[in-house]
């Protein structure tokens, strides 16, 4: 190949190469020729060779050996060589290379050149690859050019000042006065550069932001002029006057009006005018409207203006362009927490976007739909969401089942045919259990729904795990057969145990699911009366299970049956089930307070036997003012007696006094009383009267326990240790 081959000939030769190896051969030969010519002292084709080298660099091949040639050509007095030299510097040099420091003096000289095009080359190069040291050295020159009379130079100097501010934030104060004076220019290019510079200054310095808030009226006037201006061929884009400048001004107004009432009031009328007068049938108009909406939602705007902004986003949802629909839903997602009612008006359109073919739009529509779910619309939205889940990809099912708390609960409860239950994430089960625990008013409804789902399908492991947990915790609610929300169903103890045994024996159940079912079966041993032996036999089977976790659980539960079975008995008092435990020795004892802090008056019968009046007073269930609570003996064995008396302090507070006495012939030392309650109840044990029990009951030890139940959750047991 000839050394003087033109650039277009080299490009043709490279493109005609049939293999990559052939292409590399062409480029290597040409680069060798370029190196040889760079070494010649008198080379008339330097710009020609550097241009070819830049094309090689664009193809991804090494061209670093041309850096010094760029430095030499920048210093050339010829404009054609200087232009290629600056272009090469922007492409081959960066601030990390030492060669970039060599062109600082050349740039400074060219910034003072009489030719505006040479000045623009220096400004563009400094704005592209200027290092922090170069910016500090040349900042004063840029400030001087910002005040020049030439609009062509001023707009380039403004953009160069933006780069300097990003590199050296402290230099922002130098450009602030000149930037403000540029707002009086008529040239749109200068105005655009000034707005970008002011935006950068305000974002990086709060003090500068306060100063430029005074320019809001000027920016409003410029924006009004663009909105109401007549047709201008130099600035019109699809019927919108300079949409690029409008977008920049709206972004600056958003920064200036954020958290400032006065600045927000000054731009409210303008934003309303832009929102109503901008054509939304073209892409450029939608771009201006979108920036207007973002500005309205970010400043302290009026409520009516915010509703107008949400309605514009609602119109975007009807646009045929999927990109516009996507950004509309992204914006609505950000404001659904603050403007929930306004976004709710477009719920139907958002739900329709679930049917979109584009995966990104569908995902964003699902996220927004989940955020719109509330207690008032959950039933109406459930049909659409379940229909969507029946045909959506698995990753979207997982996202839906792990989203908003309302839908998170309802999907798992109502989806019993495979819509989402098999694709939920690992954290869904504990999250849902926590949700159910905190929603005490829905315990009955939840356990009924989950029991029915368990009978219908046990293939959905997450659903089965939650169902087993609820049955174990709230099995007595299932046995009552009373539920206002769900259709009443009569369930026997055998039915519940049959369902759990089916889960335990199913080949579809994972070890974790079997563990939930086994634990639920053990819990039911304290809630049922006639099938304790069956529960014992079910648990004992898994004492030799191959799964170590199940085997350990079964062995521990069997130990409870064997060692502490004498602590369990059930009795009926006033139609309510009370579980109490009296130990033989002084190791563990439990006394059931029967919802002492969270009891309900609904279970009281109008015709109560007189002999039960004292117990009603103790439980706080009497509608009339309670009589003083009697003292109840909770432990009496081996000569040691412990009595309990209660005093209700408030609706959520209770004081329990424990008194211990010793009737034996020998003294007891280091005697302590300990108590434990569920996590939902707060317990405070005051200091005991002593730790020594003398013989023959000559003295007693008293211990006061203060119970607080702020959530009014039923307290069924108080465990005492002596």
What's the pTM value of the predicted model, to 2 decimals?
0.60
Average pLDDT over residues 610-618: 40
Write out pLDDT tens, residues 38-60.
Answer: 887 666 678 888 888 999 899 88
CATH number, domain at 691? 2.60.40.1230
Question: What is the pLDDT, as a whole number, of residue 374?
Answer: 75
Question: What is the pLDDT, as a whole number, of residue 717?
Answer: 56
Of 521, 539, 568, which residue is a domain's last? 568
Distances (CA, A) of 30 to 37, 40, 49, 56, 386: 11, 16, 9, 9, 65
User: Does residue 313 fall inside a structural domain?
Assistant: no
Question: Is the model's pLDDT at 590 over the cut of 70?
Answer: no
Question: DSSP of 675-701, one letter per residue?
Answer: EE--TTSEEEEPPPS-S-B-GGGSSEE
Of 550, 568, 586, which residue is a domain's last? 568
Of 568, 585, 614, which residue is a domain's last? 568
Write out pLDDT tens, residues 536-578.
Answer: 888 888 888 888 888 888 888 888 888 766 555 433 322 233 3
Closest by CA to 677, choosing from 592, 615, 555, is 592
Question: What is the pLDDT, as a whole number, of residue 253?
Answer: 92
Residue pair 503/514 in contact by the 8 Å Cβ criterion: yes
Question: What is the pLDDT, as a whole number, of residue 712?
Answer: 63
Could you tell me the pLDDT band of residue 414, with boundaries at 50, 70 and 90?
very low
User: Does residue 172 fall inside a structural domain?
Assistant: no
Strand partners, 685: 705
Lowest mean pLDDT, pick from 101-105, 484-488, 502-506, 566-570? 566-570
Q: Max alpha carbon distance in the chain (Å)?
A: 124
User: Does residue 30 fall inside a structural domain?
Assistant: no
Same domain, 461 and 547: yes
What gap in Å lies between CA 136 and CA 656, rounded to an integer? 77
Average pLDDT over residues 113-121: 92
Question: DSSP of 153-174, one letter per residue?
Answer: HHHHHHHHHHHHHHH-GGGHHH
Of 480-489, 684-693, 711-720, where does the model show the most confidence? 684-693
Same domain, 638 and 547: no
Question: Is the model's pLDDT at 162 over the cut of 90?
Answer: yes
User: Does residue 418 fall inside a structural domain?
Assistant: yes
What is the enclosing helix (H) or strand (E) of 203?
Answer: helix 188-204
User: Does residue 665 fall inside a structural domain?
Assistant: yes
Could you tell me the pLDDT band of residue 620, with boundaries at 50, 70 and 90?
very low
Structural tokens at position 588: 């563990």
Question: What is the pLDDT, as a whole number, of residue 580?
Answer: 32
What interhelical angle do 46-58 and 20-39 show, nearest 10? Answer: 150
Residue pair 521/538 in contact by the 8 Å Cβ criterion: yes
Closest by CA to 646, choosing from 634, 636, 658, 635, is 658
Same domain, 560 and 416: yes
Same domain, 556 and 683: no
Average pLDDT over residues 73-81: 87
Same domain, 540 and 676: no
Burial of 160 (0-12, 13-18, 19+ CB in 10 A): buried
Same domain, 423 and 560: yes
Lowest mean pLDDT, pick from 164-178, 297-311, 419-433, 703-717? 419-433
What gap in Å lies between CA 568 and CA 557, rounded to an integer? 14
The mean predicted confidence, pLDDT, of the chain is 79
Same domain, 438 and 553: yes
Average pLDDT over residues 112-138: 90
Question: Is the model's pLDDT at 522 over the cut of 50?
Answer: yes
Same domain, 559 and 643: no
Average pLDDT over residues 479-487: 67
Range of the domain at 678: 631-721
Write out pLDDT tens, residues 317-354.
Answer: 888 888 898 988 888 888 888 888 888 888 888 888 88
Residue with structure tokens 């495979």?
Answer: 418
Angle (nearest 5°) at CA 109 between 104 and 115: 130
Residues sharing a CB contact under 8 Å with residue 547, sequence separation 6 or more, in sequence order: 511, 514
Question: What is the pLDDT, as a whole number, of residue 591?
Answer: 37
Same domain, 534 and 429: yes
Lowest mean pLDDT, pick from 117-121, 568-572, 672-676? 568-572
Same domain, 433 and 564: yes
The total of structural domains in the chain comes to 2
Question: What is the pLDDT, as a whole number, of residue 384?
Answer: 76
Average pLDDT over residues 142-166: 92
Reduced to 3 DSSP states, what percent helix, strand and coil does the chain have, rounded to the nearest 5?
60, 10, 30
User: Does residue 527 fall inside a structural domain?
Assistant: yes
Write out pLDDT tens, residues 275-327.
Answer: 888 888 888 888 999 999 999 988 888 888 888 989 898 888 888 888 898 98
User: Does residue 327 fall inside a structural domain?
Assistant: no
User: Does residue 609 fall inside a structural domain?
Assistant: no
Same domain, 563 and 417: yes
SS3 362: helix
Same domain, 553 and 641: no
What interhelical angle do 493-505 and 532-541 show, nearest 10? Answer: 10
Question: What is the pLDDT, as a whole number, of residue 389?
Answer: 72
Cα dihedral sign for 314, 315, 320, 326? negative
How many other β-carbons are positioned within 10 Å of the β-carbon of residue 403?
18
Question: What is the pLDDT, as a whole number, of residue 335?
Answer: 86
Question: Is the model's pLDDT at 593 over the cut of 80?
Answer: no
Structural tokens at position 559: 């130990």
What gap in Å lies between CA 465 and CA 514, rounded to an integer? 8
């Amino acid at each position: 190949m000839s050394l003087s081959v033109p650039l277009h000939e080299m490009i043709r030769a490279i493109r005609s190469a049939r293999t990559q190896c052939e292409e590399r051969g062409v480029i290597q030969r040409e680069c060798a020729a370029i190196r040889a010519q760079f070494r010649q002292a008198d080379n008339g084709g330097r710009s020609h060779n550097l241009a070819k080298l830049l094309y090689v660099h664009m193809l991804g091949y090494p061209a670093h050996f041309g850096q010094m040639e760029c430095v030499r050509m920048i210093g050339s007095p010829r404009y054609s060589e200087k232009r290629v030299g600056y272009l090469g510097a922007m492409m081959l040099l960066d601030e990390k290379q030492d060669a970039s420091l060599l062109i600082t003096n050349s740039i400074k000289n060219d910034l003072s050149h009489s030719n505006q095009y040479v000045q623009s080359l220096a400004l563009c190069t400094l704005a592209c690859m200027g290092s922090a040291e170069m910016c500090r050295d040349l900042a004063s020159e840029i400030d001087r050019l910002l005040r020049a009379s030439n609009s062509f130079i001023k707009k380039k100097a403004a953009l160069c000042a933006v780069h300097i501010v990003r590199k050296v934030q402290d230099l922002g104060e130098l450009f602030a006065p000149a930037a403000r004076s540029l707002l009086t220019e008529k040239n749109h290019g200068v105005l655009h550069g000034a707005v970008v510079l002011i935006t950068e200054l305000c974002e990086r310095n709060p003090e500068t932001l306060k100063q430029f808030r005074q320019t809001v009226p000027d920016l409003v006037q410029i924006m009004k002029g663009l909105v109401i201006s007549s047709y201008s061929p130099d600035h019109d884009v699809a019927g919108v006057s300079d949409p690029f400048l409008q977008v920049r001004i709206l972004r600056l107004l958003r920064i200036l009006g954020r958290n400032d009432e006065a600045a927000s009031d000054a731009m409210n009328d303008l934003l309303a005018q832009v929102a109503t007068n901008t054509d939304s049938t073209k892409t450029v108009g939608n771009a201006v409207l979108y920036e207007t909406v973002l500005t309205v939602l970010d400043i302290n705007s009026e409520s009516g203006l915010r509703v107008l902004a949400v309605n514009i986003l609602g119109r975007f949802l009807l646009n045929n362009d999927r990109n516009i629909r996507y950004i509309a839903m992204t914006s609505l997602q950000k404001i659904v927490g603050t403007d929930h009612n306004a976004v709710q008006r477009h719920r139907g359109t958002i739900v329709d976007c679930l049917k979109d073919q584009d995966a990104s739009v569908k995902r964003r529509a699902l996220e927004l739909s989940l955020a719109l779910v509330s207690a008032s619309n959950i039933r109406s939205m459930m049909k659409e969401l379940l229909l969507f889940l029946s045909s959506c990809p698995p990753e979207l099912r997982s996202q839906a089942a792990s989203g908003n708390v309302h839908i998170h609960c309802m999907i798992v409860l109502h989806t019993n045919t495979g819509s989402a239950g098999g694709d939920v994430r690992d954290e869904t089960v504990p999250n849902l259990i926590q949700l159910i625990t905190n929603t005490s008013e829905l315990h009955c409804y939840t356990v009924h729904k989950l029991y029915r789902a368990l009978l219908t399908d046990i293939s959905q492991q997450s659903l089965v795990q939650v169902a087993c947990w609820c049955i174990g915790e709230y099995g007595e609610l299932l046995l009552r057969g009373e539920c206002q929300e769900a259709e009443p169903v009569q369930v026997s103890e055998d039915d519940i145990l049959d369902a759990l045994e089916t889960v335990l024996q199913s080949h579809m159940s994972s070890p974790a699911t079997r563990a939930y079912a086994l634990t639920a079966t053990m819990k039911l041993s304290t809630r049922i009366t006639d099938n304790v032996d069956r529960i014992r036999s079910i648990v004992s089977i898994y004492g030799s299970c191959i799964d170590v976790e199940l085997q350990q659980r079964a062995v521990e539960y069997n130990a409870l049956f064997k060692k502490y079975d004498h602590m369990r008995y059930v009795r009926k008092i006033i139609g309510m089930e009370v579980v109490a435990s009296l130990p033989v020795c002084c190791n563990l004892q439990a006394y059931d307070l029967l919802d002492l802090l969270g009891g309900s008056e609904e279970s009281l019968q109008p015709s109560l036997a007189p002999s039960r009046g004292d117990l009603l007073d103790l439980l706080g269930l009497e509608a009339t003012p309670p009589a003083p609570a009697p003292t109840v003996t909770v432990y009496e064995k081996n000569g040691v007696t412990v009595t309990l008396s209660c005093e209700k302090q408030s609706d959520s507070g209770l004081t329990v006094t424990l008194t211990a006495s010793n009737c034996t012939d020998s003294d007891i030392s280091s005697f302590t009383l300990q108590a434990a309650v569920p996590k939902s109840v707060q317990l405070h044990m005051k200091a005991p009267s002593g730790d020594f029990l003398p013989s023959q009951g000559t003295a007693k030890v008293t211990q006061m326990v203060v119970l607080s139940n702020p959530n009014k959750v039923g307290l069924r047991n108080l465990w005492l240790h002596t």
